[in-house]
Chain A
Amino acid sequence: MATQTPIPVEVPKEDQRVPVIEPGHSFATIGEKVSNIVLRRPVSLGWVFGFLVMFSGMNMLLFALGYLFMKGTGIWGITIPIGWGFAIINFVWWIGIGHAGTLISAILALLRQSWRNSINRFAEAMTLFAVACAGVFPLVHTGRPWLAYWMFPYPNSMNYWPQFRSPLIWDVFAVSTYGTISLVFWFVGLIPDLATLRDRAENPIIQKVFGLLAMGWRGSARHWHRYETAYLLLAGLATPLVLSVHTVVSFDFAVSIVPGWHTTIFPPYFVAGAIYSGFAMVVCLAIPIRAVYGMEDFITARHLENSAKVMLATGLIVGYGYFIEAFMGWYSGNTFDSFLLWNRLHGPYAPWYMSLLISNIFIPQLFWLKYFRTSTFWLWILSLVILVGMWLERFIIIVVSLHRDFLNSSWGMYYPTKWDWMTYIGTIGMFLTFMWLFVRVLPMVSIAELRTLLPEAHVHEAEEVHK
């Protein structure tokens, strides 16, 4: 991986790109800068305040869920025909966001994109937390959540098992696998840094804690050798996985017969959308974090610009998806599909559809301009817009398709309740609570991998030296 592709020590003249790590850093300074955030930096009032805000958000979620378990899903806006509402919208949204991390660490690793090294760590953490948020919904959206374990295959006295033809079961497996593998991937990446923290820590308790987590990592060449193989294999496995997860999620819709769901373009365009929103979230988090914790040296304009480019590309794919959907609606000549198109454009939810197009397709075109790719302020704003847009996309797909399907007599409208909103905002609170804790207790960028980026990390072919 990274170490097998030495970056030339002196940057070639023609390459004027911003480096992925600012000059003037040594092995020690990197370790110091990163680990000090965890070990030395005092807890600031701002951090505590922010944490309390996020934490109260998380508690709002718990409250909303408590009431949900008492009363039932009827407290939400869902109804017949709109059997799925915010719960599934949020689920898909979060899962999508959860794609960036593993994608960055896996796919970019395979593609030998050295610029990934400084953002992969918290991108992966972000992934974990996003998946955790997503995981809440399939569970609680059921009418009888206390029986949701029936979706897992286990021998039981009923001699009855899950129904493996159902996309929801596929979901269960895809999402739980994704969660597990992301966790493993993330932890494997952490081990060397945990060792660093262990060795840099002064407080004996902290020493012991990191010591246990590092499991006695001592950076032996043998360890590194196996470590790199394992990491490479994980990346290799995670790559198809990350692509499969949102494909499977899209099957929830594509496999059904609902007009607006039953379409073969969903898998690719869901995956693209996922990466789209994922990177948006990464950028949303990266910009403030690097500012607050002075990480500009490691998370440079190069990273941000590349992310912007990725967003632009995936955004275009998503746009293509929308176009094809509309085109097929017209081209198929199927009365239900063509009505779906009409209904999106002129129906009661037309404003939502319009704002979706604007925030997801039109505004991101600004990324063609270098100014918007490099201005952290605009980058941040645009990422937020994209996040909203991607949420709207799921709203359109789920609600607008369901509310007017085959039988005119059974058409309906969807009105989210305050409980819907509390649950949604609550998960955001939960997500940020975890992020808040993460940046303080674990190295937010990978120390070991950053070190490999330093010129002095690169060795010449031993033989030459030898003779």
Chain B
Amino acid sequence: MDENSKLKGGPDVCPGKRGQLDLATVKAEIEETSGPEYWRSLEELAGSDEFREMMHREFPKGASEWLESFSRRGFLKTMGASLALAGLTGCTKLPDTVIVPYVKQPENLIPGKPMYYATAYTLGGYASPIIVESNMFRPTKVEGNPDHPASLGGTDVYAQASLLDLYDPDRAQTVTYMGDVRSWTAFTEAVRGPISVQKGIAGAGVRILTQSVSSPTLAGQIRDYLKANPQAKWHVYEPINRDNVNEGAKMAFGEVVETRYDLSKADVIVSLDADFLYAGFPGNTRYIRDFASRRNPDAEMNRLYVVESTPSSTGMKADHRLPVRAANIENLAHVLAAGCGVASSATPSLSDQETYYVMAASKDLQDHGGSSVVIVGDHQPPALHALAHQINAKLGNIGKTVFYTEPVDANPANRNQSLHELVEDIRGGKVDLLLILGGNPVYDAPAELEFASALKSNAVALKVYLGTHNNETAVLCQWHVPEAHYLEAWSDARAYDGSASIVQPLIDPLYGGKSAHEIITILAGQPGLTGHDLVQQYWQKQHTGGDFETFWRKSLHDGWIAGTTYAPKNVSAKGISPQRSQPADANAIELNFRRDPSIYDGRFANNGWLQELPKPLTKLTWDNPVMIGPAMASRLKLSFKDVVEVELNGKKVKGPIWIQAGHPDNMVTLFLGYGRTRAGRAGTGTGHDAYPLRTSQAPWFASGAKLTPTGEIYNLASTQGYQTMETPDGSDRPLVMETDLEEYKKEPAFAKEGEVPKELTLYPAVDYSKEMYAWGMAIDLNACVGCNNCIVACQSENNIAVVGYEQTLKGRHMHWIRVDAYYQGDRNNPKGYFQPVPCMQCENAPCELVCPVGATVHSSEGLNDMVYNRCIGTRYCSNNCPYKVRRFNFLLFQDWETPQYKMMRNPDVTIRSRGVMEKCTYCVQRINEHKIDAETASVREGKDVRVGDELKTACQQSCPANAIVFGNLNDANSAVNKWKAQSRNYSLLAELNTRPRTTYLAEVRNPNPELKPESQHERSAG
């Protein structure tokens, strides 16, 4: 049959695997051939500009059209080329570009075995140190760097998903001038003139606009250029910036400092609107690790107070959460400060509940002087940050839980101000040559600047944009140079603790992208210098004593440069007590702007993994809602799906309502980053754009918004059906077992109530104890902070398809692990829980019993195998799965066409095709890899080598909170056994007697005895 044959040859192919043979030969021949003639050959193959131009002629201009007339042929050519180029990066032993692989990397590559390289991913100037897995020189997976203090093996969702950006088929493919294809040489020729002119006038007309830069090399380059051309200016802008933090520091210390926390030593944490447990907050990966490490009820447990405006995953983890409008948080802070003995200029009046709460909190803080910390959110005004510094100082936390260092940011200038100046200069005709290095200011600049119009006006003679996509900004600049992805180019960056990492490429630029470094070399008139040269030169200067080569290799190998971590510096808080800003009108509706949890400021709009990543609280995908609280909704008679118009000083945006439990009353939250017009196939046109309402006067929250229903209806695609454990009929389901510390001490085994005795079955139980391995998993609900990392990690590891808005709306998303969020109690201030749900790998698996063709059966090691190639797709297994963890390919969800995706996929995991059921496999490909290694070893060495805890599943490995542990239940000392031995251990829906291999450690909160939640409810009710 046709489909049949197609099936044999087609869909079940794993492109990666397919590729192996050819790749192997390419690699091998690259490996063996020696220098020069090899170079020539690659030039012929792909290097030369002629080739590129010829190839790119196939792409019509203008992203919008070429999305349709997407030339496969052209792409395959590129791929052919870049594959070879990829090889080049990997293994030619060219002296000047040695890449030192990580631990497992063999001296020269073994085909079929992955290699691991240390590098760093940068967001908002802060580097996340990572290890990248490379299969046949194709980067296929991002992991955290276990040896780096800023990661300890964990990552955040953006780092995980950055891999997809590398292979994004919508990336800019070529240098363009006014939309026409040009070559890189053509560009350098074209700008040489203007640059030399500028040289004459000390660069008076030169403006460089970058995003936050923490790369010492790049900063150095720019500074050198500015030294040579004193009139030139360097502007920095980023919409999600830390202006308030820096201003606050100036206010307190007279200088900008980096504030770093050590949460592992903090017994009491008070967060004033700080979402420090979610990606995007500098250092969050480490903070999550430290925070989670103190959530073990059997050890010293910390206590978290969160006063927040827009509900966040951090708030959901709080032992005491207080929803307050953003503007009112300052008031609380002053009372808190007073309570902690900080002389406060004002003592504003608070509601009973607030006072009650703040008093308890401040008392708790004082009881834990030196072992507590107050953290303030980036979007709270400077004064508040200054106040927090004083409180921390007063509590004696400085040097214990709070540290001040040099700013990580190389140019901590005020972002909005900096952009203001630039726009003034442009309007004033002072700018002749504008270099925009990354970012997308046309889309995300403060509304009042009207950056787009400024750019459109021909005031600027020459506008050059370096960017990965042909986006809103690119079309307004004459020259667009495709920016190299961080896995394609050399650079360096600093982590939140100041430690510098070398960003080393794993693959040559797929589309000849260039890095900011290279652009600056053109500007500085030092062409030919590669990123590698620059970075190496810079560190050569920094390096003192010792053999540089070994230092360099070590730095690359470890993933960071030893001794670059900033030492804490002593700064003294000035006595001045910060004045509080005018209290906002209590009746006016407050409008909040927040970065989107998934697509940040909009830069990830075209990243399918992130677009489809359910946002931690709402579980929304592909859209940004207009978020309001339950009270407000009932007052305004608004319900889900209603589309409303939000108006602020005459500017309007339209968006669908989302009623979020725990959202403060009389306040609206808009999320930035959506409504892109030139993002690409995934991002364009999703959601609504909130930037037009956002001004530099009120970048985070403004008062006096208007909400008017439009009568339209819009369906938001949320992946979670129902968000409380209490069913509509009023009964409660024991899904997340939870209690507080006191109760726990009294009854440690409280979670086990549902458990069924083993003998409660008609059948003789299968005995796994004789097997060499019995795989199992335990998930600590106390540690899990709902950061979503596991979802993206799993998606990347297991080649999970992205299905898009419509399919997600139908409930057909494909994530193998999901993080359920449940609310309990008062809707205006509920308790929140996160529960990651992978396949439970039940020993009495209901799914297996009903499969007519035996496509899902048990392995001898207790794995619930899913054999895709046997599956005929009756979906019976999914119906019969009480945990609903099975995912079905209702349509052809996998992209078989786009060559980039073929390169990206994990060669060890079958690509599932249409009509096939799939689900979490406990990363069976990793299990088998480790088993085979162990067995070959045991044969070679003649002793019994077994797989131990070094085997990690993708979700476990990337988890910053260490909330997931996986291992061999037949190994008495395995970590998973230790966890399962704990009294908190329980299995989900135990009464069904499915005997899950995945169990949970029940959640235990640590409320302040003086601040019992129930009494709090009474008040909020009153």
Contacts and interface: CB of A to CB of B under 8 A. Distances in A.
B882 A166 contact: no
A146 B992 CA distance: 35
Contact of B811 (A79, A145, A257, A406): A79
24 contacts: A73-B875, A74-B807, A74-B890, A78-B890, A79-B812, A84-B875, A143-B889, A144-B873, A144-B915, A145-B872, A151-B872, A161-B854, A166-B851, A166-B876, A252-B876, A335-B731, A339-B731, A347-B728, A406-B883, A407-B735, A407-B837, A408-B725, A410-B720, A412-B811
A162 B853 contact: yes
Contacts of B772: none
A170 to B, nearest CB: 9
B870 A160 contact: yes
A72 B915 contact: yes
Contacts of A69: 3
A456 B585 CA distance: 103
A408 B733 contact: yes
A80 B886 contact: yes
Contact of B850 (A73, A151, A167): A167
Contacts of A143: 871-875, 888-890, 914-917
B874 A141 contact: yes
Contacts of B721: 81, 404, 408-412
B884 interface: yes
A80 B884 contact: yes
B1 A146 contact: yes
Most chain B CB atoms below 10 A, which of A255, A257, A335, A339: A257
A73 B891 CA distance: 7
Contacts of B3: 69, 144, 146
A19 to B, nearest CB: 50
A256 B873 contact: no
Interface centre among A346, A406, A407, A410 (most CB of B within 10 A): A407
Contacts of A310: none
A237 interface: no
Interface of B: 1, 3-4, 7, 720-725, 727-729, 731-733, 735, 807, 810-812, 818, 820-822, 835, 837, 846, 849-854, 857, 870-876, 878-880, 882-884, 886-892, 914-917, 989, 992
A331 interface: no
Nearest to B988: A407
Contacts of A150: 853, 870, 872
A405 B882 contact: yes
Interface string A334-351: 010011001100110000
Contacts of B733: 335, 406, 408
A338 B733 CA distance: 12
Contact of A257 (B732, B880, B915, B916): B880
Interface in A123-158: 141-148, 150-151
A258 B883 contact: no
B812 A342 contact: no
A38 interface: no
Contacts of B728: 342-343, 346-347
Contacts of A409: 720-723, 735, 818, 820-822, 835, 837
A169 B850 CA distance: 9
Contacts of B725: 408
Q: Which 10 A-B pairs have the closest CB atoms?
A: A143-B873, A143-B915, A411-B721, A74-B890, A83-B875, A74-B891, A410-B884, A342-B729, A163-B854, A409-B820
A162 B989 CA distance: 30
A402 interface: yes
A108 interface: no
Interface of A: 69, 71-75, 77-81, 83-84, 141-148, 150-151, 160-163, 165-169, 172, 252, 255-258, 335, 338-339, 342-343, 346-347, 402, 404-413
Nearest to B893: A74
Contact of B852 (A74, A166, A339): A166
B722 A78 contact: no
Contacts of A402: 879
Given A74-B812, A80-B884, A142 B873 contact: yes
Contact of B882 (A142, A151, A406): A406
Contacts of B851: 163, 166
Contact of B846 (A80, A161, A252, A257): A257
Nearest to A76: B890
A72 B853 contact: no
A135 B295 CA distance: 57
Contacts of B992: 257, 406
A378 B721 CA distance: 44
Contact of A407 (B807, B811, B820, B891): B820
A336 B876 CA distance: 20
A244 to B, nearest CB: 18
A408 B735 contact: yes
A408 B853 contact: no
A83 B731 contact: no
B892 to A, nearest CB: 7
A77 B818 CA distance: 23
Given A338-B731, A407-B882, 19 more contacts: A72-B915, A75-B891, A81-B879, A143-B872, A148-B872, A160-B854, A169-B852, A172-B852, A256-B879, A258-B880, A343-B728, A346-B729, A402-B879, A404-B721, A406-B883, A409-B720, A409-B822, A409-B835, A412-B721
B678 to A, nearest CB: 30
Given A163-B853, A256-B850, A343-B729, A408 B822 contact: yes
Nearest to A340: B729
Contacts of B891: 71-72, 74-75
Contacts of B888: 80, 83, 143
Contact of A73 (B735, B873, B880): B873
Nearest to A410: B884
A144 B876 contact: no
Contacts of A339: 727, 729, 731
Nearest to B917: A143
A418 to B, nearest CB: 15
B840 to A, nearest CB: 11
A162 B857 CA distance: 12
B852 to A, nearest CB: 4
A143 B884 CA distance: 18
A102 to B, nearest CB: 25
A163 to B, nearest CB: 4
B850 A168 contact: yes
Contacts of A168: 850, 852, 874, 876
A79 B850 contact: no
Contacts of A412: 721, 811
A256 B735 contact: no
Contacts of A172: 852
Nearest to B882: A406
Contacts of A147: 4, 7, 872
Contacts of B884: 80-81, 405-407, 410
Contacts of A406: 733, 882-884, 989, 992
Nearest to A75: B891
Given A143-B889, A144-B873, A162-B853, A80 B812 contact: yes
A205 B1022 CA distance: 93
Nearest to B820: A409
Contacts of B852: 151, 162-163, 166, 168-169, 172
Contacts of B837: 407, 409
Contacts of B850: 166-168, 255-256
A142 B854 contact: no
